Amino acid sequence: MSDTNNSTQHHADDEIDLLALFGTLWDHKWLIATVTFVFTVIGVAYALLAPPVYRATSLIQVEDETGSLPGMEDLSGLLGSTSTATTEIQLIKSRTVLGKVVDDLNLDIVVEPNYFPIIGKAIARRFVGSSGEVADPLWGENFAWGGEKLSVSRMSVPPVEFGKPLSLMTTDTGWVLYNSEDQLVLEGIVGQPEQSGDYALMVKELQARPGTEFEVTKRRHYSAIAELQEKIAASEQGKDSGIISMGFEHEDYRLAETVLNEVGNNYVRQNVERNSAEAAKSLEFLRNKLPEVKRDLEVAEEKLNAFQITAETIDITAEGEAILEQVVELEKRISELEIQRAEIEQRFQPTHPRYKAWASQMEELKQRRSDLDERIGGLPQTQQELVRLRRDVEVGNEIYLQMLANIQQLDIVRAGTVGNVRVVDEAAVDVEQPVKPKKALIAAVAILLGGFIGVAIVLVRSALNRGVENADDIESIGLPVYAGIPLSESQEALGRKASKRVSRKTQQDSKLLALKNPADLAIEALRSLRTSLHFALMDAPNNILMICGPSPGVGKTFVSTNLAAVMAQADQRVLLIDADMRKGFSHETFNVNNDKGLSELLSGQATLEEVVHHTEADNLTFIPRGMVPPNPSELLMGKRFEDYLQELAPKYDLVIVDTPPILAVTDPAIVGKHAGTTMLVTRFGLNPLKEIELTQRRFEQNGIDVKGVIFNAVEKRASIQSYNGYGYYNYEYAPSGARSANT
């Protein structure tokens, strides 16, 4: 049963916390709405002002490569394969391909007109004029407003200027260039290269009003390539399809299209060169080897001729002829295997079965050649030498003819190489539908982001604000809450009107809310406090009531002045003393002269009759603070203050003393010893609970008992379950026509 009750209690606590959370958000709904509105305006403005970005797309097909080394066709399926498209995508984005694009299109030179801040680029983008026409300037002669063009075909700068914008300004005859330190470095005309030291510039095209500025930046070649690598998008369309889709985004759709076409063309060109590289290397090898083979053949022929002349024989026997044919055929096959040696050694290790098969075949042919050499050794000496010389000539001639045939074939292969890739679709751009900015999405994200940040601000402020907002928290530390005074909009209006009159140095009326708007909810709460104090003062040792606060800004002066007026309206004789001789301003509320007040009375500079003022409220008299003295605490500790209190107290039903904050100065501790009742004013959401506890201990240390707390400036919050539950309700009982401002 106990577990069930605990579970129910936890559930109730969770529910209350959830309601409090939603209540906090509802209390600050206007702040959330304002933040959301601001973010929405910023998002919509960005969507409208941001330049449109266009996307160029193209398609490339990668075909499977066929062909292998002679005699190795059956092994091609055993070697494994990787994704052709993945390899080709990396080649597309390689520095070899993109570096040439950067060079051909001068992408390492960035030209940007000097637009008016924020809105200038958007205005220039909407300019529509005939060819060669530029927009008239709206503000400033140096800004570009539409139609301006600058094309730079060559640019050189010192290494320290790489990546820094240089200023180019148009003139009546051409242009001038300033470096990053605004120093003139070049001057020239369109179409003519100019150079001075490390600076060089060739302006190919210039269309702008004289005085228009451009920013020209020379980037490092590697930086331009790296940026292009990031912007070029390439992906395979479908698994193992061999179709690569490429994309490139840029504000200038013409440049986007040109760049993507250039990338595709350079990639295809690189692929052709790569595929023809093997044939080119073989061709170079054969051409270098051919003269050597020809020299060996000529030497062999000379030796044969010389032997025939010396030996006086020109023919060989039938047996020698048969052996010679076999030897020539055998040497031809050995030569073919020797040509395959380089390719096999590049692709296989000596332990590979294919390499072993080649080596075994070569060994067999060499063994057969050795056998034929033995047969040749069985011939007569003259026939042996003649066969060897004829063998050298015929083998050399066969090799020479074979190399010539191979050179012709490789020439044909190299010239006819087309590569295994082709551009299927040239680059194209949808100029009617830019890919960025997505205006609807940006607006929606801005609204959501604004709402999220607004909620976050409210929750963070709520978490950081440790001020008490519930009277129950104050009562939990043993201090009874005598009244909760709601925040008065009428009082705030009175304060604003009085401030305006003071700024104009005109006569101002009383700002006492109890007289100006007696039906205000705050005054009704003070009437409730009056009833509570009536019984509290019955047990007090005297009729002196001290009102104090923990810190400045809690509204103790508002409570003191209006409570005094409410008490006076109940036919009680009330005296209000402003004992805050540092910053008291009760005299402004009553609109009385402050030249002579409590400080002058205690210092002996004025008499009691001179400092006591009658107010607009019947039965209410007032002693202002007077001029700020150098020693307020010492004046309050003097015998005169106690004597005057003992003299005045019997003349009035209630004496209210308004004192400064106890945590700031010691004055309240001095005054509190003479007061029969001490009330503490705290402000809704301002004073943390620990601060109130510290105030209570400070009074206890000085032997002063705090009777209770007046909870001031209470705001109605949906996050607070009961409207703080301290003696007033959210309605007003007043005559018709006397409605409160916050009803």
319-349: per-residue pLDDT in tens?
A: 566 766 777 777 777 777 776 676 677 667 7
**Is 216's pLDDT higher than 90?**
yes
pLDDT on residue 138: 86
In a domain, 14, yes or no: yes
Q: Are residues 624 and 673 in the same domain?
A: yes
Q: Do residues 109 and 220 lie in contact, with contact meaning Cβ atoms separated by under 8 Å?
A: no
Q: Are residues 529 and 482 in the same domain?
A: yes
pLDDT on residue 294: 76
Q: Are residues 303 and 380 in the same domain?
A: yes
Mean of pLDDT values over 537-551: 91
In a domain, 486, yes or no: yes
Amino acid code (one letter) for 354: R
Per-residue model confidence as pLDDT tens digits over 504-530: 444 456 678 888 888 888 899 999 999
In a domain, 736, yes or no: no
Q: Which residue has the tokens 């539409």?
A: 146
State the chain's mean pLDDT as an integer. 81
Q: Are residues 640 and 564 in the same domain?
A: yes
pLDDT on residue 2: 47
In a domain, 733, yes or no: no
Q: How far apart are CA 51 and CA 250, in angstroms?
A: 10
Q: Are residues 484 and 456 in the same domain?
A: no
Nearest-Å Rg of the Cα atoms of the chain is 51
Least confident of 16-20, 426-430, 525-529: 16-20
Give the confidence band of 104 by pLDDT, cuts at 50, 70, 90.
very high
Residue-number span of the structural domain to which 417 is assigned: 280-421
Q: Which residues of 307-332 are buried (b: 16+ CB within 10 A; e: fewer)?
A: beeeeeeeebeeebeebbeebbebbe
Per-residue model confidence as pLDDT tens digits over 162-187: 999 999 999 999 999 999 999 999 99
Q: Are residues 406 and 516 in the same domain?
A: no
Q: Do residues 589 and 512 lie in contact, with contact meaning Cβ atoms separated by under 8 Å?
A: yes
Number of domains in the chain: 4
In a domain, 182, yes or no: yes
Give the confidence band of 414 by pLDDT, cuts at 50, 70, 90.
low
HEC-encoded secondary structure of 273-328: HHHHHHHHHHHHHHHHHHHHHHHHHHHHHHHHHHHHHHHCCCCCCHHHHHHHHHHH
Q: Are residues 707 and 577 in the same domain?
A: yes
Phi, psi of 228 (to 5 degrees): -65, -35
- Last residue of some domain: 361, 395, 421? 421
Looking at per-residue pLDDT, the higher value among 619 and 535 belongs to: 619
Mean of pLDDT values over 61-84: 50
Give the confidence band of 77 by pLDDT, cuts at 50, 70, 90.
very low
Q: Are residues 555 and 413 in the same domain?
A: no
Mean of pLDDT values over 695-717: 90
Torsion of CA 521, 527, 532, 538, to 10 degrees: 160
pTM score, whole prediction:
0.58
For CA atoms 298, 301, 305, 307, give the dihedral sign.
positive
Give the confidence band of 537 by pLDDT, cuts at 50, 70, 90.
confident
Highest mean predicted confidence (pLDDT) among 66-70, 239-243, 305-309: 239-243
Q: Are residues 130 and 40 in the same domain?
A: no
β-pair type (654-658, 574-578)? parallel
**Is 561's pLDDT higher than 60?**
yes
Residues in the chain: 743
Order of strands across the sheet that contains 165-170: 109-113, 213-218, 165-170, 175-178, 184-188
Q: Are residues 643 and 661 in the same domain?
A: yes
Of 588, 590, 653, 655, the residue nearest 616 (C-alpha):
590
Q: Do residues 550 and 541 lie in contact, with contact meaning Cβ atoms separated by under 8 Å?
A: no
Highest mean predicted confidence (pLDDT) among 79-93, 404-418, 498-512: 79-93
In a domain, 126, yes or no: yes
CATH of the domain at 517: 3.40.50.300
pLDDT on residue 384: 62
Q: How far apart are CA 114 and CA 108, in angstroms?
A: 19
Q: Are residues 206 and 352 in the same domain?
A: no
> Residue 643 contacts by C-beta under 8 Å, 6 or more apart in sequence?
none
Q: How far apart are CA 604 and CA 602, in angstroms?
A: 5
Give the confidence band of 718 by pLDDT, cuts at 50, 70, 90.
low
pLDDT on residue 129: 80
In a domain, 151, yes or no: yes
pLDDT on residue 578: 93
Q: Are residues 460 and 405 in the same domain?
A: no
In a domain, 119, yes or no: yes
